[in-house]
Amino acid sequence: MDPSVAQAYRALNEAQNAIRRADTLDQALQEGLRVLMRGCDAQAAVIWYGDGSDSGDGRVHPYFWIGAPDLTSCSHALGVDVVGRVVLTQESERYLTFAEANDPATVCDFRGVDVTSMFCVPFSGGDAIRGCIQFVNKADGTRFTIEETDVCEMMAMVAGMAVEDNERLQPSWHHGETIMEIRGVTREFTNGDVVTRVLKGVNLDVFEGEFLVLLGESGCGKSTLLNILGGMDHPTSGSFKFCGEEFAQASQARLTDYRRDNIGFIFQSYNLMPNLNARQNLELIASLVPNPMNADEALEIVNLGERKENYPSQMSGGQQQRVSIARALVKRPSIIMADEPTAALDYTTSIEVLEVMEKIVSEGTTMIMVTHNEEICRMADRVVRMRNGQVYEVTVNRRKAHATDLVW
Ligand SMILES: Nc1ncnc2c1ncn2[C@@H]1O[C@H](COP(=O)(O)OP(=O)(O)OP(=O)(O)O)[C@@H](O)[C@H]1O
Ligand SMILES: [Mg+2]
């Protein structure tokens, strides 16, 4: 047997096992997709689904993707484009060289990815859900073979059967309005003759009310991206819109207003004023914003009602971090951005802080949290992974864990 086919069959077997082991369907599909992608050596893979019911919007939406740019806002009309056609007809389409595709626009949603080889296999399950799995580009630059695409088609059938067997699958994925839209954002730093390219074309959407966790190796550009989203820095190029307004090249004054009116920041170091007690630290911020929350109320939210008079030196790290969360809340921000808020804390105090974050999100605030801690991803609505200045994976968590369930 062709070694690449043998490899693909091994992947099929492995993916089947991953699906059997998985506790939830999401996990099954995610693991299955990952194994399969490795099996056929694809650079990117996407599960698209269409809500086939009458109440659906008649479009096909991305469900999971790996190795692709952020596809969240993408959708295809049923029957239109490769993905829409495969979902409607439930027949595979294979462009082993992309030059064979008669309409290159079919994969235009793969922004920034040069598509050379692609195939799309149907995926069906239950009455209401019909979708497909799209595989894009072999990692080694060669083309997918027919045999590989056949194995993947079989795998999609296996995954589809898992969907039918699992009643927990919800037919649609609900998220809030898009409040931030980041497209092709780059950031370069120039020191003398040396130019460091840190962000290399980031695409991302942020939805109202979601808990988004941003993960990636040290130096990959997480804080740089957060600073741009928070209006503390300008991108070198690209677009950053908040509620439809372009901020990429906004004036300092406009950015200051944007920060003041919308964003609360929480950092790894608490940055509290040492000579002010907890309440005074909050009142200092409250005096700068138009419609502040009462300082006492904010301290109650973070469970520090009893510690209002304490100075930072009289509080534990976890308590100080909770004061800094309360300080962010005083502004009544629509979005909280937290850069490694628990990195300096031990396990127990980290959980205390995360419980507060969970409460804030449950009350409607959008949260973007940078962390190194994989376990915290379990609390998130979506996990965005960055590598080398780009987003390379966005996954949706449909079964969120509570802060108190996390263990490390
Ligand atoms: N002002 C600057 N001038 C030059 N290089 C910078 C500047 N700010 C950041 N960098 C570089 O950009 C890269 C990304 O930095 P960034 O702080 O965004 O990483 P990070 O993903 O947040 O890392 P960590 O997990 O360690 O906090 C690093 O290599 C850093 O040295
Ligand atoms: Mg950082």
Which domains does the chain possess?
3-165 (3.30.450.40), 178-405 (3.40.50.300)
Strand, coil or helix: 10 = helix
Question: How many whole angstroms separate alpha carbon 240 and alpha carbon 228?
Answer: 8
The bound ligand whose nearest atom lies closest to the alpha carbon of 214 is 1
Q: Which pLDDT value is given to residue 170?
A: 46
Cα angle for residues 92, 94, 95 (degrees, 5° grid): 155
CA distances from 17 to 12, 47, 321 (A): 9, 19, 43
The pTM (predicted TM-score) of the whole model is 0.68
The answer to whether 326 touches 299, Cβ cutoff 8 Å, is: yes
Q: In which element (H, E) is residue 148 found? A: helix 146-165
Which residue has the CA at smallest separation from atom 4 of ligand 1? Answer: 189
Strand, coil or helix: 29 = helix
Question: How many whole angstroms separate alpha carbon 203 and alpha carbon 70?
Answer: 6
The answer to whether 100 touches 120, Cβ cutoff 8 Å, is: no
Residues whose CB is less than 8 angstroms from the CB of residue 181 and which lie 6 or more positions away in sequence, other chains included: 73, 205, 239, 240, 241
The answer to whether 326 touches 293, Cβ cutoff 8 Å, is: no
CA distances from 42 to 152, 200, 236, 348 (A): 11, 22, 31, 41
Q: What is the DSSP letter of 87?
A: H
80 lines ligand 1 (CB under 6 A): no
Strand, coil or helix: 219 = coil
The bound ligand whose nearest atom lies closest to the alpha carbon of 233 is 1
Q: What is the pLDDT along the chain (408 residues), one digit of tens a residue?
A: 666 677 767 777 777 677 666 666 677 778 778 887 888 889 999 988 876 554 556 788 888 888 887 887 788 888 888 888 888 888 999 888 876 665 555 544 566 677 888 999 998 765 556 789 999 999 998 999 888 888 888 888 877 776 666 555 444 456 789 999 999 999 999 999 999 999 999 999 999 999 999 999 999 999 999 999 999 999 999 999 999 999 999 999 999 999 999 999 998 888 999 999 999 999 999 998 888 999 999 999 899 999 999 999 999 999 999 999 999 999 999 999 999 999 888 899 899 889 989 999 998 999 999 999 999 999 999 999 999 999 988 888 867 889 998 999
Residue from 191, 200, 217, 223 to probe ligand 1 pocket by mutation (most atoms less than 8 Å from CB): 223
Give the residue carrying structure tokens 């072999």.
138
Q: Which pLDDT value is given to residue 54?
A: 47
The amino acid at 93: E
Q: How far is the CA of 339 from the centre of ligand 2 (A)?
A: 7
Residues whose CB is less than 8 angstroms from the CB of residue 232 and which lie 6 or more positions away in sequence, other chains included: 255, 259
Q: How far is the CA of 215 from the centre of ligand 1 (A)?
A: 14
Give the largest Cα separation in the chain, rounded: 75
Question: How many whole angstroms separate alpha carbon 231 and alpha carbon 240?
Answer: 10
Q: What is the DSSP letter of 107?
A: G
Which residue has the CA at smallest separation from atom 27 of ligand 1? Answer: 218
Which residue has the CA at smallest separation from atom 13 of ligand 1? Answer: 219
Q: How far is the CA of 340 from the centre of ligand 2 (A)?
A: 7
Q: How far is the CA of 329 from the centre of ligand 2 (A)?
A: 22
Q: How far is the CA of 392 from the centre of ligand 2 (A)?
A: 18
Q: How far is the CA of 193 from the centre of ligand 2 (A)?
A: 24
CA distances from 168 to 51, 165, 183, 187, 207 (A): 15, 9, 34, 42, 24
Residue from 187, 193, 196 to probe ligand 1 pocket by mutation (most atoms less than 8 Å from CB): 196
219 lines ligand 1 (CB under 6 A): yes
